[in-house]
A and B are shown apart, each in its own frame.
Chain A
Amino acid sequence: MVETVSIRLTVNGAEVSKEVEPRQHLTDFLRNELGLTGSHIGCEHGVCGACSVRVDGRVVRGCLMLATQADGAAVETIEGIVESSEAADLAEAFIGRNALQCGFCTPGMMLTAAELLAEGKPLDRAGIRQELSGNICRCTGYQAIVDAVESVLVKKTGEV
């Protein structure tokens, strides 16, 4: 009999109560228990950033946080962020600039980009690259992703 822990949290604003195995990480929980498959499982050791989700307002590696640790937390995934149209500008820019090909990294990339856009600090291209350095993309070569983020940031801050 596997020992489980009861957790209550909100996911994209909705209350969720579940029994989870302690060893289950947050992204597996979101994908396997809640069917939210927008957060992807890449390396499962914190390197690739594909599993990124937002916990209590900040982007974290979903593979490096246990589902049990999210007890009491507000979790947001790419599904919630897209639905709320918070990232509408960003999504449009990603499409407009061809900033995705296979799309595996895109949810994590967008969550990270959304956080730096929300901070609203002007950044040059090198700065944007640094901020996105924790999210690995194997298709685009990053150029188009930086283009997309830069275009939204410039619009937002009014600075080039």
Chain B
Amino acid sequence: MKAAAFKYLRAENLDNAFDAFAEYGDEALILAGGQSLMPTINLRLAQPAVLVDINHISGLSGIEQSGEKIQIGATTRHFELANSELVASKLPLIASAIKHVAHRGVRNRGTFGGSLVHADPAAEMPACAVALGATLVLESRAGERRISASDFFLGVMSTDRRPDEILTSIELSADGPGDVWAFRELSRRHGDFAMVGVTAKARRASERLEDLRLVVFGCEECPQISAVAASLAASGQEPVAIAQAVAEELNPMTDLTGDAETKRFQARSLIEQSLGDLLEGRADG
């Protein structure tokens, strides 16, 4: 289908975008990579009056290290993450997960920040951001606001972003010694949205997983850390028992990829495999 008419504004800087928010309020939508927004506009599920294109705002794109932190600009495209040596060495979980994000043509255009703000429950990057304890930096006329990824996601395609804010960058901690991670996803076809996926980060010490941050995605309304997984892992429980306990307390949504009980079953299996990956230090799921 063809999009309904809208007005297009190319923001050259943040001020241009803030002006548009002030003038059009929630009639204005931010256009970053457009790989989720444009389909909804073409299908006329969204009919914004104004699109504010933020692709040309300088300083919103790029990957930089400062100390133990890696800063990723919100409009950094998925292929840039996939090709980045810094990401490969310091954020190997992202490097692995990014291969599951849609297809080549979509990764060439879609942005990291856009994926987070879109907050699709089955998307990979929001789950990774939560597992990695990312901090999101949002800017508005009122200034800068920092929020942890685990507080940012509120529900299906719903986040804590206020209508006058732009997500400008994402801050992540570089992998350190003893850090282990896992990423596993089930999908009908490579690059499709996950039926269910699991991602996790932990520190491995004497055959135990400390500070386990395990997230199941494509399952519940939004990605969140499993507290049960963390406490059972810290007490040295076996993966099979942890997976059982986490799966039992999941609240899966039935969607086109499967019903709730199917997803619970698939999640349990992926959690067990992921915990095995963490304990054995296997890199790629």
Q: How far is the CA of A60 from the CA of B109 in the complex (A)?
A: 6
Task: Please tell me the number of chain B residues within 8 Å of chain A, measured between CB atoms.
Answer: 31
Q: Which residues of B contact A69 (CB under 8 A)?
A: 31, 34, 53, 55
Contact check, B2 vs A23: say whether CB atoms are below 8 A apart: yes
A54-67 interface bits toward B, Cβ cutoff 8 Å, 1 = contact, 0 = none: 00001111011110
Which residue of chain A is the closest to B8 with respect to CB atoms? A22
Q: Is B256 an interface residue (CB 8 A)?
A: no
Q: Number of contacts between A and B (CB, 8 Å)?
A: 93
Which residue of chain B is the closest to A5 with respect to CB atoms? B8
Given contact pairs A69-B53, A130-B191, A61 touches B5 in the complex (Cβ within 8 A): no
Which residue of chain A is the closest to B4 with respect to CB atoms? A23
Q: Is B79 an interface residue (CB 8 A)?
A: yes
Chain A, interface size: which category?
Answer: 20 to 34
Q: Which residues of B contact A135 (CB under 8 A)?
A: 103, 105
Q: Which residues of A contact B53 (CB under 8 A)?
A: 68-69
Among B7, B10, B108, contact of A58 (Cβ-Cβ < 8 Å): B108
Among A21, A52, A64, A133, contact of B38 (Cβ-Cβ < 8 Å): A64
Contact check, B109 vs A45: say whether CB atoms are below 8 A apart: no
Given contact pairs A46-B38, A66-B8, A68-B8, A60 touches B3 in the complex (Cβ within 8 A): no
Q: Is A144 an interface residue (CB 8 A)?
A: no
Given contact pairs A44-B1, A133-B191, A59 touches B105 in the complex (Cβ within 8 A): yes
Q: How far is the CA of A71 from the CA of B105 in the complex (A)?
A: 19
Most buried by B among A58, A64, A112, A131: A64
Among B6, B42, B191, contact of A63 (Cβ-Cβ < 8 Å): B42
Which residue of chain B is the closest to A62 with respect to CB atoms? B105
Q: Is A129 an interface residue (CB 8 A)?
A: yes
Which residue of chain B is the closest to A134 with respect to CB atoms? B103
Contact check, B38 vs A23: say whether CB atoms are below 8 A apart: no
Q: Which residues of A contact B102 (CB under 8 A)?
A: 134
Q: List 24 A-B contacts (CB under 8 A).
A: A21-B5, A22-B8, A22-B51, A23-B3, A28-B2, A45-B1, A45-B39, A46-B38, A60-B109, A61-B106, A61-B109, A64-B35, A64-B38, A64-B39, A64-B109, A65-B38, A68-B10, A69-B34, A108-B105, A131-B104, A133-B103, A133-B189, A133-B191, A134-B104
Instruction: In the A-B complex, list the 7 residue pairs whose CB atoms are closest, starting with the nearest.
Output: A134-B103, A22-B8, A45-B39, A64-B38, A58-B108, A23-B3, A133-B190
